[in-house]
Chains A and B, each alone.
Chain A
Amino acid sequence: MSPTLREHWRISTFRLAVLFGFLFTIANVVLLGLVYWQTTSYLERRVDDSIVTMSGYFKSRNREEAIAEVRDALSYDLRKSNVYGLFTSDGQQIAGNMDRFPAELPVDGKIHQFNHRTLPQYSPGGVASEMPVGLARVMVRRLPSGEVLVVGRDFTQAAEIKAIIWNALIVSGTFIIVLGLLGGFFLSAGPLRRINAVRDTARRIVQGELSLRLPVSTRNDEVDMLSSIVNLMLEEIERLLNEVKSVTDNVAHDLRTPLTRLRLGLYRAQQAINEPAQRRMLDNALTETDALLARFRALLRISEIENRQRKAGFELIDPKDVIAPIADLFEALAEDKSIRFEVTCHPAPMIQGDPGLLFEAFSNLVDNAIKFTPEGGQVSVRLGQFEGVARFEVIDSGLGIGPDEREAVLQRFYRGGQQGKSEGYGLGLSIVAAIIRLHGFTLTFQESAQGTHVSVDCPSRLP
């Protein structure tokens, strides 16, 4: 199973990488912002100094002198980065390289920044309309003679620097975020793989392979530390379970011999006695002993099924082959109780299982259905499929099992409350439950208006 993005997000390494990606991006913005601010203010100071110097030449000049000064200055400005403009008080151009009067600027002798269309050095054509919009810092002043003088310097660099820095910001920001995500992705792949390995192992342990342990690498990092702790717990759990099992096994084994002797002795006594009253007492004792032995064997059988190595004796079987003998075996029993008994086999997918055990489980369910259905009732056995999985169903018109009783029904020794008179050792359903668990099937009590409706879903692969 390949890990999803959601799973990656749960890994702390991944989150850390993404978090650091964002932190680096913020730092990057601050750094580049600082560079931009420092650079532009430095350039501003330089430009403003020049403008102040340039405008100084026009102090106490009359109109003609000013015109000459403007022409002079423009002819010396080989880099064509300066802006000069001499206008009449009503805005008519007298001299200079400005195409229009900057009416939006106050005539206050202070330096302002404004957009203009005169960028002679970058547009050799000189046609005003073709000139790109540039940026300039200018000072507008009224000469003593009444004309308005504009002195300034091109400041398009500032805009260009801004663009460069923006670019740098976007490129580096993208880079950092992508790198952070990718790095996080790859860094979290390792831990994720290990977590998944742990999860798979844990799942198998839950399914009964108690001897398995979580994987521990040689790195001895936090995951390994946790795994080691869990492994220690598993060790203890397995030891305790084995202890319980060996106690149970010992008790079972210790009981076998005395029970065998008891049955043997009673039987011999019964054979030897001819006095009818005593013989009847011994008959009853024998019957009780046989019931006890049957119960004992059923208990042993449950633990035997539960302890069985998974999949041992499993084969691919057609569920039809399990159902067919059930019909054969139980038809007589149902008929004997005047119960309508019908078996329906729809096509169903193949299942993995032990045919003998499955027959035992299913026949047990059918047996119960017949047992708890009063005379004249109906029992239906159905094989079909539900959501692509083979489904076995037993539906009866009997007394039914209350929702609160259903879980308890599957426990050992439990027998439905009202059916005290019916025979049965109460262990049948526990055996069914053990077999169902062994196969990884699910047994469900379906809602039904009357009687009991049990369904067993048989996925062909173990979960």
Chain B
Amino acid sequence: MTATAQIKVLTIEDDATTAREIAAELEAHGFAVEVEGDGQAGFDKAASGRFDAITLDRMLPNLDGLSIVTRLRAAGIDTPVLMISALSDVDERVRGLRAGGDDYLTKPFAVDEMAARLEVLLRRRKAPALVVKLQVADLELDLLERSVRRNGVELELKTTEFRLLEYMMRNSGQTLTRTMIFEAVWNYHFDPYTNLIEVHMARLRKKIDTPGLPSLIHTVWGTGYMLGAKD
């Protein structure tokens, strides 16, 4: 990421160490980060509308995360909000998303996952509302025809593989964790304990990255996957 109008992120988190690490990771991704430890002060900053994205702890002094996001949405501020919570209950997650949060992450979390999710949120905000064709390098995906072409050659994909590829192409150049893929493609919210995602990815890879062509699906070691032309 270059310095073209640096993306500003507000991190509202009362644990100083966690806040510092979040900030460090986001800064490493090229974001400008502002940290706020108090709920009320955090809300005031967020309400200014200066930020491109917000990471929001669920439990904060003075004003809790749920109230902050509810008030922000009521005030018409639609900055993407990634909620980070020590409450892992499925109902908590639903409550957080219903209040207006865009994504929900449970503590303890991995910062790379957090950053990946935030980037997907930012990207979703920028993406045009309706796309019928996705293209990454010589890979084309037609959502209407439900067809995929690589280097002009039509590829035969199963429904699941198509959905997986669509998700990856919509977020091309973006690191996607296994959990994110599982949630987005299969719409389930639990740890897929095994190498399920790896296996599906391997299958997709075999079809997309045919011998002789540069590979498009990359493994991001220890984190997940990324689709894109290698720089």
- Contact string against B for A residues 350-369, beta-carbon threshold 8 Å, 1 for contact and 0 otherwise: 00000010011000100100
- Give B175-205 interface residues, CB cut-off 8 Å to A: 186, 188-191, 193-196, 199-200, 202-203
Nearest-Cβ distance from residue A429 to partner chain B, whole angstroms: 11
Check: B91 CB closer than 8 A to any chain A CB. Answer: yes
A6-14, A105-113, A252-260: which one contacts chain B? A252-260
Check: B2 CB closer than 8 A to any chain A CB. Answer: no
Report chain B residues within 8 Å CB of A298.
Answer: 191, 193
Check: B134 CB closer than 8 A to any chain A CB. Answer: no
Report chain B residues within 8 Å CB of A253.
Answer: 86
Asked if A336 contacts B199 (CB within 8 A), the reply is: yes
Check: B126 CB closer than 8 A to any chain A CB. Answer: no
Q: A297-B88, A356-B90 are in contact. Are A332 and B203 (CB under 8 A)?
A: yes
Check: B89 CB closer than 8 A to any chain A CB. Answer: yes
State A304–B91 Cα separation when bound (angstroms).
Answer: 10
Interface size class of A (residues with CB under 8 A): 35 or more
Asked if A257 contacts B15 (CB within 8 A), the reply is: yes
Check: B28 CB closer than 8 A to any chain A CB. Answer: yes
Nearest-Cβ distance from residue B22 to partner chain A, whole angstroms: 8
Check: B112 CB closer than 8 A to any chain A CB. Answer: yes
Asked if A264 contacts B18 (CB within 8 A), the reply is: yes
Report chain A residues within 8 Å CB of B200.
Answer: 332
Q: Which 8 pairs, one residue from A and one from B, show the smallest C-beta to C-beta distance?
A: A264-B21, A260-B108, A259-B108, A256-B107, A336-B199, A261-B17, A333-B199, A332-B199
- Give A173-204 interface residues, CB cut-off 8 Å to B: none
- Give B1-60 interface residues, CB cut-off 8 Å to A: 15, 17-18, 21-22, 24-25, 28
Q: A264-B21, A268-B24 are in contact. Are A325 and B108 (CB under 8 A)?
A: no
A222-230, A288-296, A396-404, A443-451: which one contacts chain B? A288-296
Nearest-Cβ distance from residue B37 to partner chain A, whole angstroms: 14
Check: A318 CB closer than 8 A to any chain B CB. Answer: no
Looking at the complex, which one of B15, B18, B188, B195 makes contact with A359 (CB distance below 8 Å)? B188
Residue in A closest to B18 when the chains form the complex, CB atoms: A260
Task: Supply 8 A–B pairs (Cβ within 8 Å), ascending by A.
Answer: A260-B107, A260-B109, A263-B108, A267-B111, A268-B24, A268-B25, A297-B108, A298-B193
Nearest-Cβ distance from residue A253 to partner chain B, whole angstroms: 6
Check: A300 CB closer than 8 A to any chain B CB. Answer: yes
Check: A1 CB closer than 8 A to any chain B CB. Answer: no
Check: B160 CB closer than 8 A to any chain A CB. Answer: yes
Asked if A424 contacts B21 (CB within 8 A), the reply is: no
Report chain B residues within 8 Å CB of A206.
Answer: none
Looking at the complex, which one of A256, A328, A371 makes contact with B108 (CB distance below 8 Å)? A256
- Give A230-259 interface residues, CB cut-off 8 Å to B: 253, 255-257, 259
Looking at the complex, which one of A297, A336, A364, A423 makes contact with B106 (CB distance below 8 Å)? A297
Report chain B residues within 8 Å CB of A271.
Answer: 28
State A263–B108 Cα separation when bound (angstroms).
Answer: 8
Residue in B closest to A293 when the chains form the complex, CB atoms: B108
Asked if A304 contacts B90 (CB within 8 A), the reply is: yes
